[in-house]
Amino acid sequence: MTGGEVAGILVAVFWAILVSFLAVVLVRLAQTLKATTRLVADVTEQAVPLLSDASATVRSAQTQLDRVDAIASDVQEVTSNASALSTTVASTFGGPLVKVAAFGYGVRQAMGRRGAPGAGNEPAERATRRTVVVGRTLPAGRFRKKKG
Protein backbone atom coordinates (compact mmCIF):
# COMPACT_ATOMS: atom_id res chain seq x y z
CA MET A 1 0.00 0.00 0.00
CA THR A 2 1.25 3.29 -0.92
CA GLY A 3 0.99 6.54 0.95
CA GLY A 4 -1.78 7.77 -1.37
CA GLU A 5 -3.88 4.71 -0.70
CA VAL A 6 -3.46 5.09 3.10
CA ALA A 7 -4.41 8.74 2.84
CA GLY A 8 -7.47 7.81 0.75
CA ILE A 9 -8.54 5.23 3.32
CA LEU A 10 -8.10 7.73 6.17
CA VAL A 11 -10.12 10.33 4.28
CA ALA A 12 -12.84 7.73 3.61
CA VAL A 13 -12.96 6.71 7.30
CA PHE A 14 -13.18 10.35 8.48
CA TRP A 15 -15.79 10.99 5.81
CA ALA A 16 -17.85 8.00 7.06
CA ILE A 17 -17.56 9.24 10.67
CA LEU A 18 -18.63 12.72 9.61
CA VAL A 19 -21.59 11.41 7.66
CA SER A 20 -22.62 9.20 10.60
CA PHE A 21 -22.40 12.16 12.97
CA LEU A 22 -24.46 14.32 10.61
CA ALA A 23 -27.02 11.50 10.26
CA VAL A 24 -27.42 11.32 14.06
CA VAL A 25 -27.81 15.09 14.25
CA LEU A 26 -30.40 15.07 11.47
CA VAL A 27 -32.37 12.25 13.15
CA ARG A 28 -32.43 14.16 16.44
CA LEU A 29 -33.41 17.35 14.65
CA ALA A 30 -36.27 15.46 12.96
CA GLN A 31 -37.44 14.17 16.35
CA THR A 32 -37.31 17.68 17.79
CA LEU A 33 -39.31 19.04 14.86
CA LYS A 34 -41.94 16.29 15.29
CA ALA A 35 -42.22 17.06 19.03
CA THR A 36 -42.51 20.78 18.26
CA THR A 37 -45.22 20.10 15.70
CA ARG A 38 -47.16 18.03 18.25
CA LEU A 39 -46.74 20.74 20.89
CA VAL A 40 -47.99 23.46 18.53
CA ALA A 41 -50.98 21.29 17.58
CA ASP A 42 -51.82 20.69 21.25
CA VAL A 43 -51.49 24.37 22.10
CA THR A 44 -53.71 25.26 19.15
CA GLU A 45 -56.33 22.75 20.26
CA GLN A 46 -56.35 24.20 23.78
CA ALA A 47 -56.00 27.85 22.79
CA VAL A 48 -59.05 27.98 20.53
CA PRO A 49 -61.53 27.09 23.34
CA LEU A 50 -59.69 29.39 25.75
CA LEU A 51 -59.93 32.26 23.30
CA SER A 52 -63.64 31.66 22.78
CA ASP A 53 -64.16 31.56 26.58
CA ALA A 54 -62.15 34.77 26.96
CA SER A 55 -64.23 36.40 24.25
CA ALA A 56 -67.46 35.38 26.02
CA THR A 57 -66.09 36.71 29.32
CA VAL A 58 -65.19 40.04 27.73
CA ARG A 59 -68.69 40.31 26.24
CA SER A 60 -70.23 39.55 29.66
CA ALA A 61 -67.99 42.13 31.32
CA GLN A 62 -69.04 44.70 28.72
CA THR A 63 -72.70 43.96 29.46
CA GLN A 64 -72.09 44.38 33.20
CA LEU A 65 -70.21 47.64 32.61
CA ASP A 66 -73.14 48.94 30.57
CA ARG A 67 -75.46 48.10 33.46
CA VAL A 68 -73.17 49.80 35.97
CA ASP A 69 -73.03 52.86 33.73
CA ALA A 70 -76.83 52.99 33.63
CA ILE A 71 -77.01 52.63 37.42
CA ALA A 72 -74.41 55.37 37.89
CA SER A 73 -76.35 57.75 35.68
CA ASP A 74 -79.54 56.96 37.62
CA VAL A 75 -77.75 57.58 40.92
CA GLN A 76 -76.45 60.89 39.57
CA GLU A 77 -79.99 61.90 38.63
CA VAL A 78 -81.32 60.90 42.07
CA THR A 79 -78.52 62.87 43.75
CA SER A 80 -79.38 65.90 41.65
CA ASN A 81 -83.05 65.59 42.57
CA ALA A 82 -82.23 65.19 46.26
CA SER A 83 -80.03 68.28 46.13
CA ALA A 84 -82.81 70.28 44.49
CA LEU A 85 -85.31 69.02 47.09
CA SER A 86 -82.94 69.91 49.91
CA THR A 87 -82.51 73.41 48.53
CA THR A 88 -86.28 73.83 48.18
CA VAL A 89 -86.95 72.62 51.73
CA ALA A 90 -84.20 74.84 53.13
CA SER A 91 -85.54 77.90 51.35
CA THR A 92 -89.16 77.11 52.27
CA PHE A 93 -88.74 76.30 55.96
CA GLY A 94 -85.36 77.88 56.69
CA GLY A 95 -86.50 81.50 56.76
CA PRO A 96 -89.54 80.96 58.98
CA LEU A 97 -87.59 78.72 61.38
CA VAL A 98 -84.90 81.37 61.75
CA LYS A 99 -87.59 83.95 62.46
CA VAL A 100 -89.23 81.72 65.10
CA ALA A 101 -85.85 81.09 66.73
CA ALA A 102 -85.08 84.80 66.77
CA PHE A 103 -88.50 85.54 68.25
CA GLY A 104 -87.96 82.95 70.98
CA TYR A 105 -84.55 84.40 71.74
CA GLY A 106 -86.02 87.87 71.95
CA VAL A 107 -88.76 86.67 74.31
CA ARG A 108 -86.19 85.00 76.56
CA GLN A 109 -84.08 88.13 76.59
CA ALA A 110 -87.12 90.28 77.44
CA MET A 111 -88.12 87.90 80.23
CA GLY A 112 -84.59 87.97 81.58
CA ARG A 113 -84.43 91.78 81.63
CA ARG A 114 -87.71 92.04 83.45
CA GLY A 115 -86.13 90.59 86.59
CA ALA A 116 -82.68 92.11 86.08
CA PRO A 117 -80.86 93.87 88.95
CA GLY A 118 -81.68 97.52 89.21
CA ALA A 119 -85.19 97.02 87.83
CA GLY A 120 -86.63 97.63 91.27
CA ASN A 121 -87.89 94.11 91.93
CA GLU A 122 -85.23 92.86 94.36
CA PRO A 123 -82.30 94.20 96.31
CA ALA A 124 -79.00 94.12 94.44
CA GLU A 125 -77.52 91.71 97.01
CA ARG A 126 -79.98 88.92 96.20
CA ALA A 127 -79.88 89.64 92.47
CA THR A 128 -76.18 88.87 92.30
CA ARG A 129 -76.90 85.28 93.33
CA ARG A 130 -79.13 84.56 90.34
CA THR A 131 -78.13 81.73 88.05
CA VAL A 132 -79.03 81.02 84.42
CA VAL A 133 -79.93 77.38 83.79
CA VAL A 134 -80.73 76.37 80.21
CA GLY A 135 -82.15 79.75 79.32
CA ARG A 136 -84.16 80.20 82.54
CA THR A 137 -83.40 82.54 85.37
CA LEU A 138 -83.92 81.02 88.80
CA PRO A 139 -84.75 83.35 91.68
CA ALA A 140 -82.26 83.55 94.50
CA GLY A 141 -84.82 82.25 97.01
CA ARG A 142 -84.57 78.72 95.62
CA PHE A 143 -80.99 78.34 96.76
CA ARG A 144 -80.22 77.14 100.27
CA LYS A 145 -77.91 79.27 102.31
CA LYS A 146 -74.69 77.67 103.34
CA LYS A 147 -74.05 77.40 107.02
CA GLY A 148 -70.85 78.61 108.09
| Separation CA 116–CA 142 (nearest Å) | 17
In the predicted structure, residue 100 carries a pLDDT above the cut 60:
yes
pLDDT tens for residues 120-135? 555 544 445 555 556 5
Tell me the CA end-to-end span of the chain in Å, nearest whole number.
151
Cβ atoms of residues 127 and 120 within 8 Å: no
Mean pLDDT of 64-90: 92
Q: What's the pTM value of the predicted model, to 2 decimals?
A: 0.39
The closest of 135, 116, 134 to 126, measured between CA atoms, is 116
Q: Which residues contact 44 (CB under 8 A, 6 or more apart)?
A: none
Mean pLDDT of 41-61: 92
